[in-house]
């Protein structure tokens, strides 16, 4: 097999599996921060009980995030050495900044959060919860900067066959950084808050820990409602930004084969690349033009505008983009329903709603994975958009069999970790809040 393809699959496996955990972290640390704030203000033990329970879950999730994150950190060197040589100036910098400015903060204070409640003052403990939340956020920010630079590179010049930094600020705040950061953070808050709302729903259904679950439900559901509704706006601006900065990616998302004035928004279809045709398509006329340019007759570039060897694949980006949006719409619906239920006070008792929340727990993960697939596959054949091709980025000295070997090993290890992770998570959940905590 081809070493480029193998390395791509390996990166997809490593990044995809890793990305189960950070979004949960983003959401859960936010809920913990809210709970710790309430505890500090009100002095009611119940907030502390819930928070300590969530911190235990966070500890487990964080460990898996670290274990899988190390692999990614080194994978640029192991599998993408040509890429590393080419972009080290710019891509390495945000990774290093992430470590120094964010990941240290998150990891060191998580240790304090996990084991230090009785060893520091209450105010300082609250501050630690804030730093873990903030560290996670900042960590995500630097990682998104690095990835956004691959999508919309800026602030660099090509010198001696390498990308050299010319303007740090322009590279950091490249055209897609801020929009993609907000989009990813909201996705994290949706993922984490829905997970915890589902958890609360499970206890409520089983009539366990009812007082605790009501509080957890109220906080998590509120965060979910705001995030899911905000994500609708953020998703829209993210799409507009893609259409304007990476038009061939948007053309692939929408399977827009030819440039059109008054382009339709494709709702459903089966795009077949070899025939340049979309079967069974259902679309809304002129809506794509309207959404991107606020003008129903605006011209939208189709795939025909781009050289055949510079066009992204269509099927996978189309599929993932549409599934992500469908899920986003579902979350907005669930948020609207949830808001009504919360106001009416039925969110804690309506069986169907509680079941729906539990069933929805895995859905944000699907949306996250599809979102990344759309973003990354939609950027192909480039690894750095219009600067460096993926095929020219791979390590030259690593033989295919070694990548195949490591790919098989990672797949097996990750499957094992996932099974054990779920098993332990269920165990912690079944035991419930209030159980004795480990350590110090």
Partner 1 sequence: METMAFLQTSWFVIIGILLTGYAILDGFDLGTGALLPFLARDDDEKLMVFNSIWPFWDGNEVWLITGGAVLFAAFPHAYATVFSGFYLAFMFILFALIFRAVSIEFWYYDEKRRGLWSAAFVVGSLLPSLLFGVALGNVIVGIPLAESMEFTGNFFTLLRPYPLALGLLGLSAILMQGVTFITMKTDGAVQKRARELFGKIWAIFAAALALSFIATIIYMPESLASPYVWISATVVIAAWLLCRRFASTGKMGASFAMSSLSFAGLWGIVGVTHFPNLVKATGDAALSITIYNASSGEKTLTVMLWIALIGMPIVILYTAFVYRVFRGKVMTAK
For the CB of residue 279, give the shortest distance to partner 1 in the complex, in Å: 43
Helical segments of 80-167, H only: 81-87, 93-97, 104-115, 122-151
Q: Looking at beta carbons only, is 359 or 416 nearer to partner 1?
A: 416
Contact 337, 273 (CB under 8 A): no
For the CB of residue 168, give the shortest distance to partner 1 in the complex, in Å: 5
Q: Looking at beta carbons only, is 224 or 414 nearer to partner 1?
A: 414
Contact 328, 377 (CB under 8 A): no
For the CB of residue 146, give the shortest distance to partner 1 in the complex, in Å: 10
What sign results for the dihedral spanned by CA atoms 378, 384, 385, 388? negative
Q: Looking at beta carbons only, is 309 or 438 nearer to partner 1?
A: 438
For the CB of residue 159, give the shortest distance to partner 1 in the complex, in Å: 7
Q: Looking at beta carbons only, is 342 or 398 nearer to partner 1?
A: 398
Residue 315: cis peptide before it, omega within 30 degrees of 0: no
For the CB of residue 439, give the shortest distance to partner 1 in the complex, in Å: 5
Contact 19, 372 (CB under 8 A): yes
Q: Looking at beta carbons only, is 284 or 423 nearer to partner 1?
A: 423
Question: Minimal CA–CA distance to 358: which of 150, 165, 205, 172?
Answer: 205
For 333-424, list the strands marked E by DSSP: 382-384, 388-389
Give the tokens for residue 430.
């079944």
For the CB of residue 103, give the shortest distance to partner 1 in the complex, in Å: 5
Question: Minimal CA–CA distance to 323: which of 360, 403, 268?
Answer: 268
* DSSP 3-state of 107: helix
For the CB of residue 64, give the shortest distance to partner 1 in the complex, in Å: 6
Give the integer Cα–Cα distance in Å for 238 and 195: 24
Continuous segment of H or E residues that includes residue 355: helix 351-360
Contacts of 143 (CB under 8 A, 6+ apart): 94, 95, 98
For the CB of residue 194, give the shortest distance to partner 1 in the complex, in Å: 23
Question: CA-CA distances (angstroms) from residue 427 to 101, 175, 387?
Answer: 34, 44, 48
Q: Looking at beta carbons only, is 59 or 338 nearer to partner 1?
A: 59
For the CB of residue 272, give the shortest distance to partner 1 in the complex, in Å: 37
For the CB of residue 28, give the shortest distance to partner 1 in the complex, in Å: 16
Contact 52, 433 (CB under 8 A): yes
Helical segments of 2-44, H only: 3-18, 21-42
Q: Looking at beta carbons only, is 67 or 298 nearer to partner 1?
A: 67
Q: Looking at beta carbons only, is 4 or 64 nearer to partner 1?
A: 64
DSSP-assigned letter for residue 89: I
Q: Looking at beta carbons only, is 63 or 330 nearer to partner 1?
A: 63
Q: Looking at beta carbons only, is 127 or 293 nearer to partner 1?
A: 127
Q: Looking at beta carbons only, is 139 or 266 nearer to partner 1?
A: 139
For the CB of residue 428, give the shortest distance to partner 1 in the complex, in Å: 7
Question: Minimal CA–CA distance to 276: which of 240, 232, 306?
Answer: 306
Q: How far apart are the first and last CA of the chain?
A: 51
Distant-in-sequence contacts of 347-351, Cβ < 8 A, 24+ apart: 347/217, 347/218, 347/221, 348/204, 348/213, 348/214, 348/217, 349/204, 351/205
């Amino acid at each position: 097999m081809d070493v480029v393809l193998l390395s791509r699959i390996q990166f997809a496996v490593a990044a995809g599996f890793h990305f189960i955990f950070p979004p949960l972290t983003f959401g859960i640390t936010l809920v913990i921060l809210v709970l710790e704030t309430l505890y500090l203000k009100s002095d009611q033990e119940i907030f502390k009980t819930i928070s300590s329970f969530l911190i235990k879950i966070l500890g487990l999730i964080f460990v898996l995030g670290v274990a899988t994150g190390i692999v990614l950190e080194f994978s640029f060197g192991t599998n993408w050495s040509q890429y590393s040589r080419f972009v080290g100036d710019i891509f390495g910098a945000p990774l290093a900044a992430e470590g120094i400015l964010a990941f240290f903060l998150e990891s060191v204070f998580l240790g304090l959060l996990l084991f230090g409640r009785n060893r520091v003052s209450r105010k300082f403990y609250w501050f630690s919860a804030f730093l873990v939340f903030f560290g996670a956020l900042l960590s995500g920010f630097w990682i998104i900067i690095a990835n956004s630079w691959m999508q919309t590179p800026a602030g660099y010049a090509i010198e001696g066959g390498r990308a050299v930094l010319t303007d740090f600020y322009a590279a950091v705040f490249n055209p897609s950084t801020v929009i993609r950061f907000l989009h990813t953070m909201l996705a994290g808050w949706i993922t984490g808050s829905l997970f915890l709302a589902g958890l609360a729903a499970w206890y409520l259904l089983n009539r366990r820990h009812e007082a605790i679950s009501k509080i957890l439900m109220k906080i998590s559901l509120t965060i979910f409602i705001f995030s899911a509704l905000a994500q609708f706006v953020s998703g829209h601006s993210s799409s507009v930004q893609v259409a304007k900065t990476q038009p061939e990616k948007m053309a692939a998302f929408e399977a827009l084969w030819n440039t059109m004035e008054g382009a339709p928004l494709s709702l459903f279809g089966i795009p077949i690349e070899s025939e340049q045709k979309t079967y069974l398509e259902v679309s809304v006329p002129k809506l794509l033009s309207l959404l991107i340019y606020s003008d129903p007759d605006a011209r939208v570039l189709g795939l025909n505008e781009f050289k055949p060897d510079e066009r992204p694949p269509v099927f996978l980006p189309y599929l993932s983009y549409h599934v992500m949006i469908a899920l986003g719409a579902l979350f907005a619906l669930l948020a609207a329903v949830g808001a009504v239920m919360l106001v009416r006070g039925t969110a804690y008792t309506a069986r169907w709603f509680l079941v729906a929340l539990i069933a929805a727990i895995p859905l944000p993960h699907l949306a996250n994975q599809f979102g990344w697939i759309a973003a990354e596959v939609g950027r192909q054949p480039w690894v750095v958009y219009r600067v460096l091709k993926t095929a020219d980025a791979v390590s030259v000295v690593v033989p295919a069999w070694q990548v195949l070997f490591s790919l098989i090993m990672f797949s097996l290890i990750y499957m094992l970790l996932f099974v054990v992770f779920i098993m332990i998570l269920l165990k912690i959940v079944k035991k419930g809040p209030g159980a004795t905590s480990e350590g110090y």
